[in-house]
């Protein structure tokens, strides 16, 4: 029997008044925390992602050493340091090369423009840009707001540090946090909370670890292709492919398409076509259409289309962190719905069962 059938909504609300008040207060506290922590949400979300990815390492090492959370967190920090170092070295090499061969590059560009047989006025404008390339570059650099750029860099560094702390403490005290939440929950809601936490943990672990292992597979196959075709800066490009492969559908194509254009111009059209087809067959199709749906659906039992939409939609709405925040929200909502199916209907039916006549 529904609330309306047993006397209306007012008695139903009065009966559960304390539960409603507590839920409302909890909602206010959560909203306040989100508001004040909003600048650090990127770091928190990435910390949750890193914790799920490195938890298998922590579980494996926990039987051998008490420093397992530290070692697992370092497994996140080490690749980041390597990527930053290789990015810096690659940037320095390119700057040094341009400083030594800048005139050669301009001569090659002029030769290409002449071969295109552009109109005289267009050629004059392009030659003016090339002749004053340094002045244009300095004008663009001077237009960059220094204060806002410095603030963005500082906020990015802070979020990176926060993500490491969140990852470490979730690995170290995740079980303790769950137990504290259980103790703070009224006894009648503890079974539902336990079921929700278990289901949410299973879903998020499936989404994040499936995404990570798929990206790892894409990066490994990309490294092989880069080696076979002799692509320069292989380590740095492999890292970029790994990051891009975190997002469904896009995979490494964000890196492979520009590389195919580079091979088309620098080597030959045939090599570019073979390179692109190899990337399409070995890197694009197996992960996004076979591996990722299998890994995520096997662990979380969520349809792959919902995961793809959450990743892509989250990225369009919230940037880089949105790629991971939207699947987090979807996973929690699905876990909440499944918990309601298990416990909520029983609670709704219990008053009717108690008021039923003989």
Tell me the pLDDT of the chain (358 aa) as tens digits. Answer: 444 445 556 776 777 777 778 778 888 888 888 888 888 888 898 899 999 999 999 989 988 888 899 999 988 888 878 777 877 787 788 777 777 766 776 677 677 666 666 677 777 776 676 666 666 666 666 666 767 777 888 888 898 899 999 999 999 998 888 888 888 887 888 888 889 999 999 999 988 888 888 888 888 888 899 999 988 888 888 888 888 887 776 666 788 888 998 888 888 889 999 999 998 888 888 887 778 788 888 878 888 788 888 888 887 887 777 888 888 889 999 999 989 888 865 555 554 444 443 3
pTM, full prediction: 0.76
**Length of the chain as a residue count:** 358
Q: Which structure tokens are listed for 41?
A: 């949400």
The contacts of residue 348 (CB under 8 Å, 6+ apart) are none
Pure H helices in the chain: 9-15, 17-36, 41-62, 68-116, 120-131, 133-142, 146-184, 190-229, 234-244, 253-266, 269-279, 285-286, 292-300, 304-339, 345-355
Residue 152: exposed, middle, or buried by beta-carbon count in 10 A (0-12, 13-18, 19+)?
Answer: exposed
CB 302, CB 203: distance < 8 Å = yes
CB 320, CB 152: distance < 8 Å = no
The whole-angstrom separation of Cα 223 and Cα 283 is 10
Q: Could you tell me the CA-to-CA distances from 23 to 16, 35, 317, 338 in Å, in that order?
A: 11, 18, 28, 19
| Structure-token match 């190899």, residue found | 278
Burial 9-33 (b: 16+ CB within 10 A, else e): eeeeeeeeeeeeeeeeeeeeeeeee
CA 16 vs. chain centroid, Å, equals 40
| Structure-token match 């996004």, residue found | 288
Please report, in angstroms and rounded to a whole number, the separation of the first and last CA atoms in the chain: 15
């Amino acid at each position: 029997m529904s609330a309306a059938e047993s006397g209306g909504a007012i008695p139903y609300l009065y009966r559960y008044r304390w539960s409603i008040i507590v839920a409302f207060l909890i909602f206010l506290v959560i909203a306040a925390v989100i508001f004040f922590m909003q600048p650090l949400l990127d770091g928190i979300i990435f910390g949750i992602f890193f914790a799920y990815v490195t938890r298998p390492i922590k579980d494996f090492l926990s039987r051998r050493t008490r420093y397992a959370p530290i070692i697992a967190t370092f497994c996140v920090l080490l690749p980041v340091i390597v990527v930053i170092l290789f990015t810096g070295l690659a940037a320095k090499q390119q700057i040094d090369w341009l400083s030594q061969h800048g005139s050669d590059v301009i001569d090659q560009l002029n030769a290409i423009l002449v071969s295109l047989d552009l109109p005289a006025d267009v050629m004059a404008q392009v030659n003016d840009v090339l002749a004053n390339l340094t002045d244009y570059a300095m004008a663009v650099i001077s237009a960059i707001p220094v204060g806002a750029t410095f603030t963005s860099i500082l906020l990015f560094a802070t979020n990176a540090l926060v993500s490491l702390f969140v990852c470490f403490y979730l690995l170290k005290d995740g079980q303790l946090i769950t137990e504290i939440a259980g103790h703070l929950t009224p006894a009648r809601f503890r079974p539902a909370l336990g079921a929700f936490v278990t289901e949410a943990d299973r879903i998020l672990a499936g989404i994040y670890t499936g995404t990570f292992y798929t990206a790892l597979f894409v990066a490994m196959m990309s490294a092989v292709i880069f080696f076979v075709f002799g692509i320069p800066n292989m380590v740095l490009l492999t890292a970029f492919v790994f990051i891009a492969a975190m997002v469904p559908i896009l995979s490494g194509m964000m890196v492979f398409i520009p590389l195919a254009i580079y091979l088309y111009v620098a080597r030959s059209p045939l090599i570019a076509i073979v390179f692109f087809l190899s990337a399409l067959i070995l890197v694009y199709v197996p992960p996004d259409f076979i591996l990722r749906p299998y890994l995520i659906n096997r662990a979380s039992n969520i349809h792959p289309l919902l995961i793809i939409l959450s990743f892509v939609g989250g990225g369009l709405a919230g940037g880089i962190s949105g790629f991971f925040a939207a699947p987090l929200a979807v996973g929690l909502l699905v876990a909440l719905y499944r918990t309601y199916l298990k416990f909520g209907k029983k609670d709704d039916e219990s008053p009717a069962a108690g008021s039923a006549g003989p």
